[in-house]
């Protein structure tokens, strides 16, 4: 059953002691670094905020500057939400989101006063009203422009939107309704799901650097299908379009926006584009968008998956065949190049092409003409080629599996599409979109996602990217009961590897942010300064031949060993490695990529060691 909405008021204790957050703020003057937990921070002059606003406004214009600064805030809020997620433990979503207000204050933005706060994750209900007292962003803007008519705390509005969207599993939009820069005594922001704002178009534009989508359909409400009024049918139909089957591209992450900028620039040219990235990351969606906004939009968009066609038929599919060209060719047939005349030809999984097909493709790109299988004349073609691959073509060239000259011909405008795990800010948008889509298609009334499901979806590593997320949400809609939310048990039933660490501190084991980790795990600070005063004392004791009768903590034993102390206790390498791995995994809430960075390993190397460690522990 869905939980009751929780309400926090101005006098409601946030649930997390401020000193616990302070303990995670660390300064390292010798290295020139500041850390908030595992996030690197910067200490910036508040006056520089006003200079930044001024420079961007004068250079880009008011609307573009506002959008850029809002997106910066959204990214910061999403990053801080990951920290809050790790510290959340078993606390309520209201307490977890209120942790964001303390992070806001810790980072010197303003004194945040919660006035009204109602949240129900499973129903997708969210309403928050907060007062910001002494907004640094407003004050910095006023130093340059003075008092005006516009609300100007753009970065902090983006921060609140990014932070709250992470916990709700659907897009939440905050809006500043009063601002110090307008003459108000303090700033007032109000937040609720995007679909509940009547006029959210401008806010959504601020989150997307270069909108390639036809409309904000993925931000629409994931409402039960039967409750949609007839007047809302057009928007619902737009929302039901498949994100991976049409040009309805959405996203708010920095990685997504960077690709959109590249696509927009490339669309104005005739240059060959090569999309690079993992399977399911949305390469074809972006290729369709590129075609749609290009001068060739009135021509056909023809796609072919080179890996899905038998090797002996690839050439005929690409270049066509003349009657009698091979056994069974009873009539002439145009290939994909001719069918794409005047438009765009999308070659997916191009790294799988055979050698002969690669040679013919190279000629087609160079000479803009093709020759049908069994034909004797060249056919001129006016086609823009867009290719995609999930392979490392440079490595394929080095191994002799891909022609070097063809690679250079394709690699004119390479664009890397980041995998979903590198653009987690987009996951709530996709979750909302797919929930709406399958509710509409299957006439279901699934209300949303439980907190556990949201946490699991945001922590999962997504080897299948957006396509896998779509499949999991479809599964959840199929298995969840009407008028209830999708839970973890409805999602991960297909052999997905969550890993034991995914069910640890990141999934509500009640981690106390003030509690010290076990001595063998240590803190991130101890990983940078492995053996502090306590370890030094242990080293000194070991050097005197004394020390406790029970084995010293691992850190002390390692310190003594490194110091060359006489009679130092054993510190087996496998024990040290296991302790470091456990420490890194605990410190990062089970995030393997972040843990690998702490340990100076690649993610693959860490996964290998984790599996080995589990085998040892299993006996």
Average pLDDT over residues 504-522: 32
The whole-number pLDDT of residue 379 equals 83
Burial label, 612 (beta-carbon count in 10 A; 0-12, 13-18, 19+): middle
Burial of 229: CB neighbours in 10 Å, binned 0-12, 13-18, 19+: exposed
How far CA 517 is from CA of 153, 411, 415, 514, in Å, comes to: 38, 49, 42, 9
How many C-beta neighbours within 10 Å does residue 440 have? 20
Smallest Cα–Cα separation from 80: which of 161, 4, 11?
A: 161
The answer to whether 552 and 569 are in contact (CB under 8 A) is yes
Q: Can you tell me which residue has the tokens 């508040």? A: 46
Helix (H, G, I), strand (E, B) or coil at 588: coil
Chain-wide mean pLDDT for the chain? 77
Query: Does residue 363 carry a pLDDT above 70?
Result: yes
What is the structure's pLDDT at 617?
Answer: 72
Percent share of the chain, pLDDT over 90: 26
Span 87-110, mean pLDDT? 78
575 contacts: CB under 8 Å, gap ≥ 6: 554
pTM: 0.66
According to the model, what pLDDT value does residue 308 have? 86
Q: What is the pLDDT of residues 441-481, one digit of tens each?
A: 999 999 889 888 888 888 888 999 999 999 999 999 999 98
d(CA 568, CA 463): 45
What is the predicted pLDDT for the residue at 418?
A: 92
pLDDT at residue 572 is higher than 80:
no
pLDDT at 562 (0 to 100): 65
Nearest Cα neighbor of 332 from 346, 342, 319, 343 is 319
**pLDDT of 13 strictly over 60:** no
Q: What pLDDT, on a 0 to 100 scale, did the predictor assign at position 39?
A: 83
pLDDT of 191? 92
User: Which pLDDT score, from 0 to 100, does residue 415 have?
Assistant: 94
**C-alpha to C-alpha distances, 434 to 44, 62, 69, 475, nearest whole angstrom:** 40, 34, 28, 11
The pLDDT of residue 408 is above 60: yes
Sole residue written with tokens 């089970």? 590
pLDDT value at position 175? 93
Give the pLDDT confidence score for residue 309 in this predicted structure. 85
Q: How many CB atoms lie within 10 A of CB 543?
A: 16
For residue 470, the model assigns a pLDDT of 92
171-223 pLDDT, tens per residue? 889 999 999 999 999 999 999 988 888 877 777 778 776 656 444 445 544 44
554 has pLDDT over 80:
no
pLDDT, position 93: 67
Distance in angstroms (rounded) separating the CA atoms of residues 353 and 267:
26
Q: For the segment 225-237, what is each residue's pLDDT rounded down to a tens digit?
A: 443 333 333 333 3
Task: State mean pLDDT over 412-433.
Answer: 90
Query: Which residue, 198, 221, 194, is CA-closest to 206?
Result: 194
Which SS3 state, helix, strand or coil, does residue 463 take?
coil
Q: Which residue has the tokens 């992070």?
A: 103
Domains of the chain and any CATH numbers: 6-207 (3.30.1380.20), 226-244+421-498 (1.10.8.60), 254-417 (3.40.50.300), 506-617 (no CATH)
pLDDT tens digits for 304-351?
998 888 877 888 888 888 775 555 555 677 888 889 999 999 999 999
pLDDT for the residue numbered 371? 80
């Amino acid at each position: 059953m869905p939980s009751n909405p929780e309400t926090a008021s101005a006098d409601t204790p946030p649930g997390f002691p401020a000193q616990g957050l302070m303990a995670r703020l660390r300064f390292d003057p010798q290295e020139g670094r500041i850390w908030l937990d595992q996030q690197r921070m910067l200490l910036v002059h508040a006056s520089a905020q006003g200079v930044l606003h001024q420079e961007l406004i004068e250079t880009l214009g008011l609307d573009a500057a506002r959008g850029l600064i809002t997106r910066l805030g959204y990214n910061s809020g999403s990053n801080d939400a990951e920290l809050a997620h790790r510290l959340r433990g078993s606390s309520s979503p209201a307490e977890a989101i209120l942790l964001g207000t303390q992070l806001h204050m810790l980072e010197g933005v303003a004194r945040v006063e919660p006035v009204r706060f109602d949240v129900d994750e499973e129903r997708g209900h969210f309403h928050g009203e907060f007062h910001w007292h002494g907004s640094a962003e407003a004050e910095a803007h006023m130093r340059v422009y003075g008092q005006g008519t516009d609300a100007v705390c753009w970065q902090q509005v983006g921060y609140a939107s990014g932070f709250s969207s992470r916990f709700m599993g659907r897009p939440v939009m905050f809006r500043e309704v009063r601002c110090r820069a307008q003459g108000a005594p303090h700033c007032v922001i109000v937040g609720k799901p995007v679909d509940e704002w009547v006029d959210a178009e401008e806010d959504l534009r601020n989150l997307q650097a270069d909108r390639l989508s036809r409309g904000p359909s993925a931000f629409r409400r994931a409402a039960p299908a039967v409750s949609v009024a007839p007047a809302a049918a057009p928007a619902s139909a737009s929302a039901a379009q498949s994100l991976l089957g049409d040009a309805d591209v959405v996203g708010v992450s920095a990685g997504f926006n960077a690709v959109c900028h590249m696509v927009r620039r490339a669309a104005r040219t005739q240059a060959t584009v090569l999309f690079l990235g993992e399977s399911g990351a949305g390469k074809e969606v972006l290729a369709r968008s590129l075609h749609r906004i290009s001068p060739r939009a009135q021509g056909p968009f023809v796609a072919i998956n080179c890996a899905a066609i038998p090797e002996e038929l690839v050439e005929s599919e690409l270049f066509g065949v003349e009657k009698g060209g091979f056994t069974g060719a009873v009539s002439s047939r145009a290939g994909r190049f001719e069918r794409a005349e005047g438009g765009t030809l999308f070659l997916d999984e191009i790294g799988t092409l055979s050698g002969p097909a690669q040679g013919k493709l190279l000629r087609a790109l160079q000479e803009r003409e093709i020759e049908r299988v069994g034909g004797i004349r060249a056919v001129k073609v006016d086609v823009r080629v867009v290719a995609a691959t999930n392979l490392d073509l440079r490595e394929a060239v080095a191994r002799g599996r891909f022609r070097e000259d063809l690679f250079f011909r394709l690699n004119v405008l390479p664009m890397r599409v980041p995998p979903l795990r590198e653009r987690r800010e987009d996951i709530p948008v996709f979750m909302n979109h797919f929930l709406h889509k399958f509710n509409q298609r299957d006439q279901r009334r699934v209300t949303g996602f439980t907190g556990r499901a949201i946490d699991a979806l945001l922590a999962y590593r997504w080897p299948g990217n957006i396509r896998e997320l779509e499949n999991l949400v479809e599964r959840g809609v199929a298995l969840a009961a009407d008028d209830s939310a999708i839970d973890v048990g409805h999602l991960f039933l297909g052999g997905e590897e969550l890993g034991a660490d995914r069910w640890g501190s990141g999934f509500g084991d009640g981690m106390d942010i003030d509690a010290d980790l076990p001595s063998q795990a240590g803190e991130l600070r101890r990983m940078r300064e492995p053996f502090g005063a306590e370890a030094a004392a242990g080293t000194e004791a070991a050097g005197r031949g004394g020390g406790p009768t029970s084995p010293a903590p691992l850190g002390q034993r390692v310190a003594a060993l490194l110091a060359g102390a006489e009679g130092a206790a054993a510190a087996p390498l496998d024990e040290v490695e296991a302790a470091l791995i456990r420490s890194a995994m605990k410190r990062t809430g089970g995030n393997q990529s972040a843990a690998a960075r702490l340990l100076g390993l690649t993610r693959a190397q860490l996964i290998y060691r984790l599996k080995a460690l589990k085998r040892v522990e299993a006996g």
